[in-house]
Structure 1
Amino acid sequence: MQAETRATLSKVPAITLGFWLIKILATTLGETAGDTLSMTMNLGYLASTAIFALLLLVLVWRQVAATAYRPYLYWATIIASTTAGTTMADFATRSLGIGYAGGSALLLAAVLLSLASWRLTLGSISAAHVADARTEIFYWVTITFSQTLGTALGDWTADSAGMGYGGAAILFASGLALLLTAYWLTSISRIALFWAAFILTRPLGAAVGDFLDKPLDHGGLAFSRPLASAVLGAAILALVVLSRWRADDYSREI
């Protein structure tokens, strides 16, 4: 009964295969949608960051005010965090001129500081049960920093390290495979593995997103950014609807 009550109160989805599939698609969408505003529509990194940051603040406010898990609201907030992360990382590494290495180091410090503050304040950084306002604020701050860090890492690996978008995608997918292996074969903290995986899905999405929409002479497939974003958004919506249908079906059975 206590476990059921905790699950009911939690305002985040269960960490399942479906969660990770939607998360990877959302991070890929964040890259293509962020580039659509900053590059295709030529709004620039700063203006695009302001737009996405405002949207993120509104959605986080709605998420914190909600009394239960709302799938569409939750995943809309995740997408807003990853699009804001895309333009914030690009602004920091390119417009401010601190480079990928400097941007990645700064953002990694921000993620670690957020997690440390969360742990010291509330005693746990578990993402399995997020219900009260303080926990949720730490949750979304950490997520936004991790999304921004992931963008910088993805661009750094693909561009500066010379691996290209395909090579970077393979590298980060391999990293996720290693984390999955550690999950099954070791007793490493599940919380640590979750946050490591959460961070790594973002550069994977960044590399895949860039591979889809960058020009052919830059190693991409030159797909339309708005079209790629629309297709990714439709796939995310379909998976969220499917996850809701399965959850409703399961609740009827029990």
Structure 2
Amino acid sequence: MAKLEETLGKVPALTLGFWIVKIAATTLGETGGDAVTMSMNLGYAVGTAIFAVAFLATVALQVRATRFHPALFWLVIVTTTTVGTTLADLLDRSLGIGYLGGTCILVALLLATLFTWQRSQGSISIDSIVSRKAEFFYWLTILFSQTLGTALGDWTADDKGGLGLGYAWGAVVFGAGLLVVIGLYYGTKISRTALFWAAFVLTRPLGATVGDFLDKPLANGGLALSRYGASAALLVFIVLAVLLLPQRAEKVRASA
């Protein structure tokens, strides 16, 4: 019988610093994606193509790496949030699927990926990412969750084809959802892996609605801040957070 031993993996441990940077990165994905597609008038298809290339390039470097590099990991996360933003907008708006339709499709893709990952590898926990195949499922799950977050955030906040809660109230709803997950983590014995992925998914629409709140016009319930300025400020914050907040690799279980 194979003996299990702990080694350091290539993804970060789930510290408070991890979640702070994650939320900031998801917000940057919204403002940065909108800056390219809307402010630069490149459109959703071109924006998606640009960020898809960036995602594929950075994830290839991440997969080839032999150890955890905080800057590289968070660069991949940022590319997933930006391509997720533009891809969701492409599906919802350009292709006419709508916010609810896009959300349903992406929920199905996310659940299918998690199910296939579980069946293939036996676990979807981050402490079991010990092979390139597991890494593939990990990043595909993250990509779908980031894309879902934009569609879900827009569906919740927008009054044209959505629930019409507005960006500020949308952020409150998803923030409350995160508080519920935290309460379940400390107050119940529900699977920590399930709660992690629930929190990971919820941080994306939270970031999406906060990002929209910052840069959307006043008439649409936003603050009408410059997308470039907001994106630059968020990028500086993320860099400082990665440098200053504790960043350590997650321990993984590998067969000895």
How many angstroms apart in 2 are the aligned matches of 1:230 and 1:162?
Answer: 29
Q: TM-score, normalised by structure 2?
A: 0.92
Is 1:211–1:220's contact at 8 Å kept on the other side of the alignment?
yes
| Structure 1 CA distance for aligned equivalents of residues 228 and 111 of structure 2 | 34
Q: Which runs of 4+ in 1 moved over 3 A?
A: none
The AA in structure 2 aligned to 1:80 is: T
Partner in structure 1 of residue 201 of structure 2: 199
SS at match of 1:163: coil
Query: Quick one: higher RCO (CA 8 Å, sep 6+), 1 or 2?
Result: 2
What does residue 236 of structure 2 align with?
234
SS at match of 1:128: helix
Amino acid at match of 2:157: A
Question: How many Å apart are 1:123 and its aligned residue?
Answer: 0.3
Q: Output the CA distance in 1 between the equivalents of 2:53 and 2:152.
A: 24
Matches within 5 A, 1:4-83: 5-6=6-7, 8=8, 10-83=9-82
In structure 2, how many angstroms separate the alpha carbons of the residues matched to 1:131 and 1:232? 32
Deviations 1:56-106 (A, max 9, x none): 001111000000001000000000000000000000000110101110000
Q: Which has the higher strand share?
A: 2
1-side partners of 2:19 and 2:129: how far apart?
18
Query: 1:129: how far off?
Result: 4.2
Equivalent position of 1:172 in the other structure: 174
Distance in structure 2 (CA, Å) of the matches to 1:239 and 1:129: 26
State the match for 1:252 in structure 2.
none
| Matching of residue 107 in structure 1 with residue 106 in structure 2 | yes
Q: In 2, distance between residues paired with 1:129 and 1:23?
A: 21
Matches within 5 A, 1:101-180: 101-159=100-158, 160-180=162-182
CA distance in structure 2 between the aligned counterparts of 1:21 and 1:129, rounded to whole angstroms: 23
TM-score, length basis structure 1: 0.93
- Which residue pairs with 2:253 in the alignment? none
What is the distance in 1 between the residues matched to 2:60 and 2:119?
23
Q: Which amino acid aligns with 1:87?
A: T
* 1:216-244 Cα distance to aligned partner (Å, 9 max, x none): 11110010001100000000000100135
Please say if residues 214 and 222 of structure 1, whose CA atoms lie closer than 8 Å, have aligned partners that are also in contact.
Answer: yes
Distance 1:90 1:11 in 2: 31
In structure 1, the residue matched to 2:189 is 187
Superposed CA deviations along residues 114-170 of structure 1, whole A, max 9, x for unmatched, are 001100100000023423211111000000000000110000000011110000000
**Partner AA of 2:208 in structure 1:** A
Q: Which has the higher helix share?
A: 1
Unaligned 5+ segments in structure 2 are: 249-256
Q: Give ranges in structure 1 of 5+ residues lacking alignment.
A: 248-254
Tell me the percent identity: 56
- SS of equivalent residue, structure 1 residue 193: helix
1:89 alignment partner in structure 2: 88
Q: CA RMSD in A?
A: 1.3
Distance 1:11 1:98, change over 3 A: same
* Comparing 198-207 and 235-244, the one that deviates more: 235-244
- Paired with 1:70 and 1:169, the residues of 2 have a C-alpha distance of 31
